[in-house]
Structure 1
Amino acid sequence: MNQDVLRHAPLFSELDDESMTALFAMMGRTRLKRGEVLFREGDAADRLYAVVDGKVKLSRASADGQDSVLAILGSGQVFGELSLFDPGQRSSTVTAVADEVQLASLSHDDLLALLDGRPSVTRGLLALLSGRLRRANDVIGDLVFADVPRRVAKALLNLADRFGESTDEGMYVRHDLTQEELAQLVGAARETVNKALADFVAKGWVKLESRAVIITDMERIVRRAG
């Protein structure tokens, strides 16, 4: 498990080498296969997790049993930080969406000890929480004001920003999501999202592959997301 990946996380990016090595030694290790659940909404919340390799989805179930994907997280991203302030119940379910996922974890008590006397880590935690709140506000605004094609375009850009690789064909984005999961991330019915994607394909803006997309006309997608 590569500790250098953790330096991409705001919480740990300013730690010196000695502190980073000590932190890595105390962290737990977890491996998941696609479809395996790390924890479920309502489970006890007592650890923070960082994705070392692979991708996970954070989801919640509505009263009628419908799932909503809150976020897709990849290497260097952290989740479960709310357990620091509210070590009660998990507010989401975390499931592996890549073939293999590697996670590092830190207990509630160890996280508090890490924060003690390290203002850079505290600043990183505040930045993480602020980013979560900002994204939540953006999602709420999009659900109220944006049509589905715009939300699809924005979702593709967000995924491309974190998981995209430039190729001769365009920006290749291996998102590892099923059609249903992508629709849950957008917050719309699968049929409606598929219709928007089919329109993008017909216009030559994207190409679709299994659990991946190639953005062939980035300028158009950016405009549609605006």
Structure 2
Amino acid sequence: MVTSSQSSQHNAAQQGAVHQAAMQRPAMQRGAASPVQQGTATAAASAQRSDTQRPRQPLHMLAPNALPFEEADLLLGTALFAQVPPDEAAQLIPHMQHHTYAKGEFIFRQGDTDKRMYVIERGRIKLTRESDDHRIQLLSISAAGEILGEIPVFDPHGGPRTASAVAMIDGVSIASLDHDTLFSWLNDHPRVAVDMLQVLANRMRLNNEHISDLVFMDVPGRLAKTLLDLAKRFGKPTEAGIAVPHDLTQEELAQLVGTSRETVNKALMDFTNRGWIARQGRTIVIYQPGQLIRRAHR
């Protein structure tokens, strides 16, 4: 019998081999797609082929007075509208509030009592929690196409927000919906409600996995896993390797890993000395993703 652990190790080894082979090929031509990008493109093409709905029109053609067409088309590409015909999605667009934030500005704060859900159109947002003695803990990073702040929408009587959302870069673009409007719309679109529940379930699964990692994995293993996750979400292929512009301080990176700044710096130095990565300010270049995969599954 093959155990779950053995299966995971086998899959990790296969992934490591794929990554190593990719990194051993000649330098990428300018504009060439990375394996991650190719996989994403393949999945998108497959989804389009299986879509039996009528051809989609750009959302701005259906609701020209709601938002500028760039923002409207971006919303159409988010998870919230992925399974919804654009003319039906357009019914919701006029009810959205649209805002742009500079780096460091709050989208919402811990303790707020609003009942709005937020859709990230552009940029990245970090979720943080402040302790009673004013220490700040980085909880997670959310990016374009994701929803956040949805818990008060599904649990309007559950109390104030337990975390703050902060723009990580300039030009973060957000659209938001209030509880009553969203729930009225979801009554006619139960499939979207199911998709949103899947998002919540996935976050719960990731939280449970993070707790398990804190118990069973050492710091270098957790760091390797964190770097791979950041690379998957934000990595950009270069001639040297995969550039990961994380926009995090060393203290924030340590918080994601679940350790101290000194300890994560020691692990980063070890990875650098082994030739697996290089640090360039708030960007990490991954030279050998296969080595990180193996270290994360040791």
Q: State the TM bucket, normalised to the shorter chain.
A: over 0.9
Q: 1:23 aligns with which of 65, 86, 92?
A: 92
Q: Deviations over 1:115-140 (max 9, x none)?
A: 11212101111111101100110111
| Residue 267 (structure 2) pairs with residue 196 (structure 1) | yes
**Aligned amino acid, residue 206 of structure 1:** I
- 1:77 deviation in Å? 0.8
Corresponding position: 1:120 with 2:229: no
Mapped partners of 1:145, 1:32: distance in 2: 38
- 1:163-193 per-residue CA deviation (whole Å, 9 max, x = no partner) reads 1122211111121112121111112111111
What residue in structure 2 maps to residue 66 of structure 1? 135
The equivalent position to 1:135 in structure 2, one of 190, 203, 206, is 206
Identity score, percent? 43
Which residue of 35, 45, 63 maps to 2:114?
A: 45
TM-score calculated relative to the size of structure 1: 0.94
**Aligned 8 A contact 1:159 1:175 in 2:** yes
Q: How many residues align structurally?
A: 226
Write out aligned runs for 1:1-226 (5 A): 1-87=70-156, 88-226=159-297
Q: Which amino acid aligns with 1:52?
A: E
CA contact (8 A) 1:148 1:193 kept: yes
Asked whether the 8 Å contact 2:224–2:293 carries over to 1, the reply is yes
Amino acid at match of 1:185: L
Deviation at 1:8, TM superposition (A): 4.6
- 1:102 CA drift (Å): 0.9
d(CA) in 2 for partners of 1:172, 1:2: 27
Q: How many angstroms apart in 2 are the aligned matches of 1:3 and 1:32?
A: 18
**Structure 2: 5+ residue stretches without partners:** 1-69
| 1:7 positional shift | 4.2
Q: Indicate conservation of the 8 Å contact 1:7/1:76, yes or no.
A: no
The residue type equivalent to 1:224 in the other structure is: R
**Cα distance between partner residues in 1 of 2:209 and 2:279:** 26
Measured after TM superposition, the shift of residue 11 of structure 1 is 2.7
Structure number with the higher strand fraction is: 1
Distance change in 2, residues 1:109/1:173 (3 Å): same
In structure 2, distance between residues paired with 1:97 and 1:221:
26
TM-fit CA distance, 1:38: 1.7
Query: Runs of 5+ in structure 1 lacking a partner?
Result: none
Shift of 1:23: 2.3
Q: Greater helix share, 1 or 2?
A: 2
Instruction: Please give the alpha-carbon distance, in whole angstroms, between the structure 1 residues aligned to 2:230 and 2:75.
Output: 20
Question: TM-score by structure 2 length?
Answer: 0.72
Whole-Å separation in 1 of the counterparts to 2:189 and 2:115: 21
CA RMSD of aligned residues (A): 1.5
**Cα deviation digits, residues 91-117 of structure 1 (max 9, x gap):** 111111113211111111111022112
Larger Rg: 2
Paired residues of 1:163 and 1:173 also in contact (CA < 8 A):
yes
- Whole-Å separation in 2 of the counterparts to 1:28 and 1:167: 37
